[in-house]
């Protein structure tokens, strides 16, 4: 299998590690174009499950060491899936909206929480980190195989598609505290960039919310803020 270092412009990405690979094989099967097994892969159970899914779905499998040197810096990666990028379209309902997120690990961690809290639509306003970056996919622990992520060129583009959603921008000076703000269904939880947060004009959109914390920190880490928002928004569903 010819493997090159990942590039954003390619139409394939890579899922690294058994956990992530299994999620793709189970939930995005038709987009798995090949599986690469490390010669030292010893987890026989997992190898058997992978082999059986690949056989059934006619997915090519090879055993080869070199791709691991090209794609994986982590020592504990013994299986890689080559995955065609799935251009998803988000659907009506509850959304997470990320405005200009810049860190691949953060985006992946948010995907994982979103899938956990049953929010399977993620809108990403560009410029933004590449949602197909193998670092994003790995941080998502495979949630990337299941959530829908759609890129929008501007927040206005997003809003034109979902004009009736209830907008909740998360801002350090949001006028309403998270724990005192009822979140209505068909919500859009909107969070800004890691370093800069949301632009000022979002304070005029919907109901701005703040997650109160001491002044000893500048802000919460982005996936933490996003996950607390999702936890609160869905707390009555469980």
Chain contacts with a copy of itself (rule: CB under 8 A): 19, 109, 112-113, 115-118, 141, 143, 146, 177, 179, 211-214, 216-218, 220-221, 223-224, 227-228, 231, 235, 238
The least distance separating a copy of itself from the CB of residue 190, rounded to whole angstroms, comes to 19
Nearer Cβ to a copy of itself, position 47 or 112?
Answer: 112
Q: What are phi and psi of 146, to 5 degrees?
A: -120, -35
Identify whether the C-beta of residue 21 lies closer than 8 Å to the C-beta of residue 79: yes
168 DSSP β-pair partners: 189
Supply the minimum distance, in Å, between the C-beta of residue 212 and a copy of itself: 4
Q: In the bound complex, what is the minimum distance in angstroms from residue 222's beta carbon to a copy of itself?
A: 10
Minimum distance, C-beta of residue 3 to a copy of itself, in the bound complex (Å)? 24
Cβ closest to a copy of itself, residue 60 vs residue 118: 118
CA distance to 20, 59, 75, 110, 190, per residue, from 196 (Å)? 31, 43, 34, 18, 14
> E strand or H helix at 2, and its extent?
none
Q: Which of 134, 223 has the CB closer to a copy of itself? A: 223
Pairing label, strands 187-191, 95-99: parallel
Looking at beta carbons only, is 169 or 223 nearer to a copy of itself? 223
Q: What is the DSSP string of 147-192?
A: SEEEEESSHHHHHHH-TTSEEEEB-TT-SEEGGG-PPPSSEEEEE-
Q: How far is the CB of 224 from a copy of itself (least distance, A)?
A: 4
Q: For residues 12 and 26, which CB has a smaller minimum distance to a copy of itself in the complex?
A: 26
């Amino acid at each position: 299998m010819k493997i090159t270092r990942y590039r954003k412009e390619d139409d394939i990405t890579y899922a690294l590690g058994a956990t992530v690979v299994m999620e793709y094989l189970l939930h995005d099967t038709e987009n798995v174009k090949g599986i690469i097994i490390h010669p030292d892969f010893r987890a026989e159970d997992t190898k058997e499950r992978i082999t059986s899914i690949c056989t059934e779905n006619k997915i090519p499998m090879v055993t080869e060491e070199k791709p691991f040197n090209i794609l994986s810096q982590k020592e504990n990666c013994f299986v890689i899936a080559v995955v065609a990028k799935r251009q998803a379209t988000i659907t009506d309902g509850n959304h997470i909206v990320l405005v200009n997120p810049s860190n691949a690990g953060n985006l992946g961690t948010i995907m994982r929480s979103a899938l956990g809290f049953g929010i399977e639509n993620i809108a990403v306003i560009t410029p933004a980190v590449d949602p197909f970056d193998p670092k994003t996919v790995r941080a998502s622990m495979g949630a990337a195989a299941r959530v829908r992520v759609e890129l929008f060129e501007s927040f206005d583009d997003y809003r034109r598609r979902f004009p009736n959603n209830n907008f909740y921008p998360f801002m350090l000076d949001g006028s309403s505290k998270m724990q005192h703000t009822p979140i209505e269904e068909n919500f859009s939880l909107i969070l800004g960039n890691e370093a800069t947060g949301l632009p000022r004009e979002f304070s005029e959109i919907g109901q701005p919310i703040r997650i109160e914390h001491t002044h000893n920190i500048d802000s919460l880490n982005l996936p933490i803020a996003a996950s607390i928002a999702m936890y609160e928004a869905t707390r009555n569903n469980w």
